[in-house]
Amino acid sequence: MIRRVVTDPLSWGLLAVCLVLAAMLALQLAEAPDPGVPPADLKTRDANAAATAGAEPIQFPPLTAYQEIVERPLFNKDRRPPPAPTGAAALASTVAVPQYELEGTVLSPGGSFAILQDRRKRELQRLGLGERLDAWTVAEIGEGWLRLEHGERSARLQLDLPGAPSNPNGPGNK
């Protein structure tokens, strides 16, 4: 290894500047608080906590205040609600499946499925098109609803959202 002795004044000047900057950085780091330690000003934090503890809880408007959002679904291209069943479909959809509650639906090109909860056992079930649920068969899965068939009878389950407007699809529907 070749050792060179630094003799030029520019190199000595740059070395001095580097040493001064390193010393300033060391002082700044020594004075900086440790990020893992809570701030030293705990009185301010305690005062803020005491002030908010006596405040009223945040009140959100009821779901009926969002009626326009319900009437104009965000994820439909035309922003119109799905059409209500008419004629025989409306009459057939009044048969209920009371022991099951629809928890959600998933629609995809690879296959759609619905998630139902058995109210008696409190168990979740995942059902696809054509699968059976007791004596019922999954006939159709839509956005937030499920249609089951049992022979000539048909039942439609809908997502049950608290505070949502009454179901426009007829009595007996979930």
State the pTM of this model.
0.39
The per-residue pLDDT for 79 is: 77
Phi, psi of 90 (to 5 degrees): -70, -40
The C-alpha atoms of residue 151 and residue 128 are separated, in whole angstroms, by 18
The per-residue pLDDT for 49 is: 62
Q: What is the pLDDT of residues 124-163, one digit of tens each?
A: 889 899 998 888 889 999 988 989 998 888 888 888 766 5
- Span of 22-26, 67-71, 102-106, 132-136 with lowest mean pLDDT: 67-71
Residue 173 has pLDDT above 60, yes or no: no
The per-residue pLDDT for 17 is: 95
DSSP secondary structure letter of residue 164: P
∠ at Cα 104 (174, 61), nearest 5°? 75
Q: What is the pLDDT of residues 54-75, one digit of tens each?
A: 667 778 788 778 777 777 777 7
More confident residue, 47 or 132: 132
Residue 110 has pLDDT above 80, yes or no: yes
DSSP secondary structure letter of residue 95: -
Question: Given pLDDT bands bounded at 50, 70 and 90, which one contains residue 166?
Answer: very low
The per-residue pLDDT for 86 is: 64
